[in-house]
Structure 1
């Protein structure tokens, strides 16, 4: 099983300098073990029913720093105090008649609502524990295509950034399956499980059909079965883990942040 997710935007210029598409592959008989390992970490931080969306988890929440003794409060108290602060702030912004600022703040609050009971350090610890867990999966392999958009010239290519990235990940996963299948015949076939994005879903499904017919630029596709299975990442911890891997790689490329990268890169193919 190869779980695929992206980090950054494929638009040019977009709001990131890099685009990363990552695929985290695990043997099918290890799926339950991996899922349970991630769930155990989530439960530790009271996040068992919550999506790991690292870009929203790992940012500072200003209101927490404005609540006295926030770190000494329990989870319920923290959540209540932050919600109270945010309601007050939204009411204040409504009166300023700045709809753009109000709308963006409301979006930020909604995206981070599930994590407000954790301090900034606890949120960082949570993400690091997930990354450390992945680093110990010796049976897993990480594939990724990383594009520096400064050097990507659309006029000289017949593929978009996300199309090129998908072809690369498919090719590498296919080649890995061919190699591993010689030694372990029971692992000779694989399936791609992709974060569901309505725009990307049709495009990548059509691309995969082309790959089955003509192959990619680098490999004939024989070991990957079916077109990608697109799933809601909110319901699938393993796709969320692929999101963490792609984020860690992109932040390393853009900002030389190596804490998470050094962990997930241990599983790089």
Structure 2
């Protein structure tokens, strides 16, 4: 039944290099995660815990990049490539099994840099308060709220702990929930504020980590040269949950949130030309 349960929205990031926008190995930043009814929480948490037991990592945090890279000092260093892919496949199939709704927003860093440089000058980063994280976060608020409105349900946003961006993220959240005269960007259905938790203490944030990681790697296919094996792997994992991705009923490029961010969060010296 619509609106009966509060929906929990778990989000994590992938490709975070702060305001460093020229890292050729990390061309994309992405926030991604999933939406779950609170009454399903225990079932999904148990499903993830059971998979960790199956792979004998019940006391480990799922951190996707460490698994794929076989980080030394962890059980993953001895995992064969095929075992890593099967693990990711098992985790991502939880999305299908419980019909979780996936949401994400990605930022191509070079486009981010070019856009703001063209408007505010080449030194915009020195005086500008918008980062790829904050841009993606603001769009994720709009995407999540759009879904909640469509379901006539309230929701709570829970993210991986990010000391650097926690304060500006909550400031942005609070501003957007208290707007009255700007309904096109006002957040209606998200409760209270954003909650930040340690990923090591939350199987749900760890699932969001896998979603963010595999989604970013799939989107990178458009901008990176990869061999057929790596391309096939990224496509296969993404397609496990492709049909569960929520598409909001607005166009990202024409949404008012970008201008609102520039006017209210970004250029704190907008009366003084930058650069």
- The alpha-carbon distance between structure 1 residues 114 and 229, as it changes in their structure 2 partners (threshold 3 A), is farther
**Partner residue of 2:110?**
150
Question: Secondary structure of 2:32's partner?
Answer: strand
Q: Are residue 109 (structure 1) and residue 72 (structure 2) matched?
A: yes
* Higher mean displacement: 115-124 or 23-32: 115-124
Q: How far 1:237 moved relative to its partner?
A: 0.7
Q: Given that residues 135 and 265 in structure 1 are in contact (C-alpha distance below 8 angstroms), is that contact kept between their aligned partners in structure 2?
A: no
Q: Scaled by the length of structure 2, what TM-score is found?
A: 0.72
Matches within 5 A, 1:238-253: 238-253=204-219
Deviations 1:111-144 (A, max 9, x none): xx24345333222211111012213322x21111
Q: Are residue 58 (structure 1) and residue 35 (structure 2) matched?
A: no
**Partner residue of 1:234?**
200
Number of matched residues? 213
**Partner residue of 1:224?**
190
Higher relative helix content: 1
Equivalent-residue separation in structure 2 for 1:125 and 1:203 (angstroms): 38
Equivalent-residue separation in structure 2 for 1:35 and 1:232 (angstroms): 16
**Partner residue of 1:198?**
163
Q: Given that residues 12 and 33 in structure 2 are in contact (C-alpha distance below 8 angstroms), is that contact kept between their aligned partners in structure 1?
A: yes
Equivalent-residue separation in structure 2 for 1:19 and 1:127 (angstroms): 20
**Partner residue of 1:7?**
14
- The alpha-carbon distance between structure 1 residues 218 and 250, as it changes in their structure 2 partners (threshold 3 A), is farther
Equivalent-residue separation in structure 2 for 1:114 and 1:205 (angstroms): 36
**Partner residue of 1:212?**
177
**Partner residue of 1:177?**
148
**Partner residue of 1:130?**
91
- The alpha-carbon distance between structure 1 residues 34 and 231, as it changes in their structure 2 partners (threshold 3 A), is same
Q: Given that residues 171 and 218 in structure 1 are in contact (C-alpha distance below 8 angstroms), is that contact kept between their aligned partners in structure 2?
A: no
- The alpha-carbon distance between structure 1 residues 146 and 218, as it changes in their structure 2 partners (threshold 3 A), is farther
Q: Are residue 266 (structure 1) and residue 243 (structure 2) matched?
A: yes
1:40 to 50, 65, 72: 50
* Higher mean displacement: 48-57 or 6-15: 6-15
Equivalent-residue separation in structure 2 for 1:121 and 1:36 (angstroms): 24
Equivalent-residue separation in structure 2 for 1:236 and 1:218 (angstroms): 33
Deviations 1:157-212 (A, max 9, x none): 7732211111111111111111101xxxxxx1110010001112112111111111
Question: Secondary structure of 1:26's partner?
Answer: strand
Q: How far 1:264 moved relative to its partner?
A: 2.4
Q: How far 1:5 moved relative to its partner?
A: 0.4
Equivalent-residue separation in structure 2 for 1:179 and 1:217 (angstroms): 16
Q: Given that residues 11 and 34 in structure 2 are in contact (C-alpha distance below 8 angstroms), is that contact kept between their aligned partners in structure 1?
A: yes
- The alpha-carbon distance between structure 1 residues 124 and 247, as it changes in their structure 2 partners (threshold 3 A), is same
Larger Rg: 1
Structure 1: gaps spanning 5 or more residues: 62-107, 182-187
